[in-house]
Chains A and B, each alone.
Chain A
Amino acid sequence: MAVATPARSSRSRAPEAAHAFRSADELHEVFARLFETLNRDDRVGPLLQAARLRMRIVCPDVRGVIQVWPGEDSGAYLEWRFDRRGGVKPQLELTMDSDVLNEWMQGRESVPMAIAHRRMKCSGEARVALLYLPAVKLIAGPYRRLIKSAYAHLVL
């Protein structure tokens, strides 16, 4: 049966990642501020803690690493560090350039599409991604507010 073939999706990426973080320092600064905000948020914080988020995000373009896990005895909803040492063994590791991370955090990148387009790699206990994806949605609002207030170059 002859059917009309649609035009290919035109969601192509810019040659230079215009909305990438400028450095690992900036990446870590933004996420430290974000996690601090979430730790003060009595609505989102407990939900993230309950999701048992144990994730490592690696951004090779800026050589940045984010490790985040639920607070246990510290009284905080989340704990984090910005290197590979210490912390809690992550269940899920996602590797992506910082512009992809920025898009994902703003709800503009779909994880499966990013994986399919080789913009993101997923390793670890893949099944927990199913638990973490909805949890990460909770971060989008605070993240957007944060970058809008202080990191305009990251706003999409």
Chain B
Amino acid sequence: MSDEVISLNEAARRAGVSPATLKRWAKQKVIPVRDDRWTAAAAAQARVVSRMRERGHSLGSLRRAVRDGRLAFGFVEELFPSTRRTISVEDAARRTGLEPELIERLMALLGTPTAREGILTEQDAAALDGIARALAAGFPLVALLQMVRVYAQNLRKVAEAEVRLFHLYVHEPLIREGVDAIEMSEEMEGLAGDLLPLTTPLMEYIHTRYLRFYIEQDVVGHMETEFAGDPQIGRISMAFCFVDLTGFTRYTEEEGDEEALDLVERFVEAVEDTLPSEATIVKTIGDEVMIVSRDPVTLTEWAVGFLGLFGERPQPRVGVHYGQAVYRDGDYFGGDVNLAHRVVARALGGEVLITREVVDAIGDSEYLRFEPIGEVDLKGFPDPTELFIVRPSTH
């Protein structure tokens, strides 16, 4: 759509500035206009320029940015549906049957600042329609709010990664090659236009795949075990495991950021690839991976085998605790999770350290032996915690 020829007035309307301003910007080469042909792409870039001007950037600095191709992303805006039509929160409340206060809360969760101005776009309203239908179908509000938060937090990361990776691997190389600004914008828009329609089906596919996986886990009764004897909704019995790399900071200093990042990527990939099927990575924070599993036996066996793959620094270390946590927003919270985190902090490189609860849950093991190291004071826990090093069984 970027090469769609439009009138100057239409370009000015789309950019939100006067025709005179638009002509001045074109003359000063901060928007790409050839032979007085005004295009949708030029209007999109003018919108970006307008925003940059509001943020205090001079026309000189913008001209340099355009010359270097650094504003070329403005063209990509044309790939998204228009958000110009707006409705008020009150109108959205009437349309969806949701309370205005709930709409404000939902929009805050969704990270959409327009809610603060009391204005919603048509896309916002359509999303609210979907939420209203989910509530009308009987899905509890408390769960729905968590779900919206999980969607928003994770899809924000997806969008951020898409833009950053596109910038690093497409935009920056074009800038380095010195490609002409207009040519660069067209090339980027072409590629983005090809890629964007592919993202939603891919995300749907991944979502469906994981949905099937967790439904299967639920259906086959794993969750029944987890909730056994536990009347509190939302509390789950699990093995909580943290794995990190000891000496990683020093490794980074010695080998450099890129080498260290490569190592972390390989490390996390190796964890993902080799975990027992019932274990799941909850999150990764730098070189640290948090894993949960309903089965402390296979998780601990995995940990011992996994450490057998590492002979040199930086060596991984593992802490495992078995207990209960509150499941909220796609994450696990509570004292037992914190305890597992403290346990890994006490482990040395190459060690799997576990609590008494894990030892009891495993019972007799053909493959593992547990060496008690005594009761250890862990930060934030008033009572000492009995810890064990796990080693492969020798018999």
A residues with CB within 8 A of B: 1-9, 11, 110-118, 122, 125-127, 129-131, 133-134, 137
CA gap between A12 and B298 in the complex, in Å: 12
Chain A positions within 8 Å of B301 at CB level: 112-113, 116-117
The complex places the Cα of A7 from the Cα of B361 at a distance, in Å, of 9
A4 lies within 8 A of B302 (CB): no
Report which of B222, B237, B308 forms a contact with A112, defined as CB distance below 8 A.
B308
A112/B298 in contact, CB under 8 A: no
Give B contacts to A, CB under 8 Å. 222, 225-230, 237, 263, 266-267, 269-270, 273-276, 278, 294-298, 301-306, 308-312, 322-324, 336, 357, 360-361, 363, 367-368, 392
Contact B226 A4 (CB under 8 A): yes
Most chain B CB neighbours (cut-off 10 Å) among A5, A114, A129: A5
Known: A3-B237, A3-B361, A133-B274. A116 touches B230 (CB 8 A): no
Contacts of B222 in A (CB 8 A): 6
CA distance in complex: A41, B103 (Å)? 55
Within 8 Å CB of B266, what residues of A?
130-131, 134
Which residue of the partner chain, among A6, A110, A117, A129, contacts B367 with CB atoms under 8 Å? Answer: A117
Indicate if the CB atoms of B270 and A130 lie closer than 8 Å. Answer: yes
Nearest first, the 9 closest Cβ-Cβ pairs linking A and B are A112-B305, A116-B305, A126-B311, A4-B228, A115-B305, A112-B306, A116-B301, A129-B309, A110-B274
Contact of B360 among A5, A8, A115 (CB under 8 A): A5
Q: A11–B275 Cα gap in the complex (Å)? A: 14
Nearest residue in A to B230 (C-beta to C-beta)?
A4
A9 near B298 with CB under 8 A, answer yes
Q: Report the bound CA distance from A127 to B313 in whole Å.
A: 9
Verify B392–A127 contact, CB threshold 8 A.
Answer: no
How near does chain A come to B33, taking the closest CB pair, in angstroms?
44
12 contacts between A and B (CB under 8 A): A1-B357, A4-B227, A112-B301, A112-B305, A115-B304, A115-B309, A116-B367, A117-B367, A126-B311, A129-B309, A130-B266, A130-B267
Given A8-B297, A110-B302, A126-B308: A2 in contact with B269 (beta carbons within 8 A) = no
Residues from chain B with a CB closer than 8 A to the CB of A130 are 263, 266-267, 270, 309-310
Q: How far is the CA of A117 from the CA of B276 in the complex (A)?
A: 13
Q: Is the CB of B297 within 8 A of A9?
A: yes
CB distance from B160 to the nearest CB of A (A): 25
Chain B residues within an 8 Å CB radius of A4: 225-230, 237
Chain B residues with CB below 8 A from A127, complex form: 309-312
**Is A122's CB under 8 angstroms from B360's CB?**
no
| Residues A115 and B276 in contact in the complex (CB < 8 Å), given A3-B237, A4-B230, A6-B296 | no
Given contacts A111-B274, A133-B274, contact A122 B230 (CB under 8 A): no
CB-based contact B323/A112 at 8 Å: no
What's the nearest-Cβ distance from chain A to residue B118, in Å?
A: 48
The answer to whether A112 and B225 touch across the interface, beta carbons within 8 angstroms, is: no
With a CB–CB cut-off of 8 A, which chain A residues contact B368?
Answer: 116
Q: Check if A3 sits within 8 Å of B305, measured CB to CB.
A: no
**Please, which residue of chain A has its CB at the minimum distance from the CB of B221?**
A7
B309 touching A111 by the CB < 8 A rule? yes
Residues of A within 8 A of B310 (CB): 126-127, 129-130
Chain B residues within 8 Å of A7, by CB: 225
Give Cα A45 to B273, complex, Å. 21
Does B305 contact A134, Cβ atoms closer than 8 Å?
no
When the two chains form their complex, are residues B276 and A110 in contact, meaning their CB atoms are under 8 A apart? yes
Considering only CB atoms, which chain B residue lies closest to A5 in the complex?
B361
Which chain A positions have C-beta within 8 A of B323? 1, 3
Q: Which residue of B lies closest to A4 (CB)?
A: B228
Partner of A9, one of B230, B270, B295, B336: B295
